[in-house]
Amino acid sequence: MKVFISGASGLVGGNCLSYFKSKGMDVVGSHFSFETEDTVPFNTLDLAKENNFDLVKFSPDYILHCGALTWVDYCEDHEEESYQKTVQSTKNLISIAKQCNAKLVFIGTDYIFDGQNGPYTEDIEPSPVNVYGQHKLDAENFVLQELPESLVIRITNVYGRELRNKNFVMRLVDNVKAEKDDTLKLPFDQYATPVNAEDIAKALYLLMSDKKSGVYNIASTDYVNRVQLAKRVLSYFPEHKMTLAPISTKELNPPAERPLNGGLLSIKFLNEYPSFEFKNVDDFMKEILS
């Protein structure tokens, strides 16, 4: 199976690139702006760019689109840039997928929901409350409409190993190891289902190998708010100097509204793959500290 991954220098794409290679897939990963030694250049907004990897010549069976603008508050104030990097990039890859007769895999989010009644199953009607969520929903819908045999997975609060350690869990671990004594203002009313990026890669490998299509939620067993998540991580460092300051989302007053009771349920996926075991945050912490 030949796979092309856009955004392979990021958290999800990087874990997919590494895991797919370990399973013997013929896989190429690309970067948009952050170059790594394992990725090739590919600008999803300028398909004619001279140094783009020749994706049509590679002729993949799957195009896995991991690239998007995920800074929620920035998206709220930069709507056109958000549209270009999330929706237009997806449209451009849809056109190449049609040329190559490839299936597209799109990475969705629980931010397409309003956060009133989470965690969510795949059949709940979306109702985004911010620009980021709306654009992710728009892109998801384009994929399902234009390439009905393709695959959408929805994820949220992803953590795990990555080159820049930009995700919340690893940033917190790095700050503790650096003996920082920061005070973190964290929302106690935003709930989600954190998931390990490596588990996403393992789940995608199964779904793609079995030629699945449609929408699947990929979420672990934890259902926590940001304060609870931080406490879980910090519990592995009894001598840490960090201070947690729980605060409501209303008090934080972010530019973009947040779906408070968010998160996802993996019932559909686990019914089809009952032997699959998701790692939780404790599993991950024990693994990286062992």
What does the pLDDT read at residue 145? Answer: 98
- The residue-averaged pLDDT of 123-129 equals 98
CB of 3 closer than 8 Å to CB of 25 = yes
What does the pLDDT read at residue 166? Answer: 93
Output the pTM of the full model: 0.97
What does the pLDDT read at residue 67? Answer: 92
Q: 159 — phi, psi (to 5°)?
A: -140, 170
Task: Look over the chain and give the mean of its residue pLDDT values, rounded to a whole number.
Answer: 97
Label residue 40 by pLDDT band (50, 70, 90): very high
CA distance linking residue 246 with residue 224, whole number of Å = 13
Percentage with pLDDT > 90 across the chain: 100
Residue type, 61: D
Domains, the chain, with CATH or none: 2-159+193-223+262-279 (3.40.50.720), 168-189+224-259 (3.90.25)
CA distance linking residue 277 with residue 270, whole number of Å = 9
- The residue-averaged pLDDT of 220-245 equals 97
- Report residue 61 as tokens: 């069976």
* pLDDT tens column, 149-173: 999 999 999 999 999 999 999 999 9
CA dihedral 216→16→166→113, nearest 10 degrees, is -10
What does the pLDDT read at residue 221? Answer: 94
CA distance linking residue 149 with residue 250, whole number of Å = 41
- The residue-averaged pLDDT of 236-254 equals 97
Ranges of beta strands (E only) in the chain are: 2-6, 26-31, 39-41, 62-65, 103-109, 151-155, 158-159, 183-187, 191-192, 195-196, 214-217, 224-225, 243-247
* pLDDT tens column, 9-29: 999 999 999 999 999 999 999
Percentage with pLDDT > 70 across the chain: 100
* pLDDT tens column, 82-118: 999 999 999 999 999 999 999 999 999 999 999 999 9
What does the pLDDT read at residue 271? Answer: 98
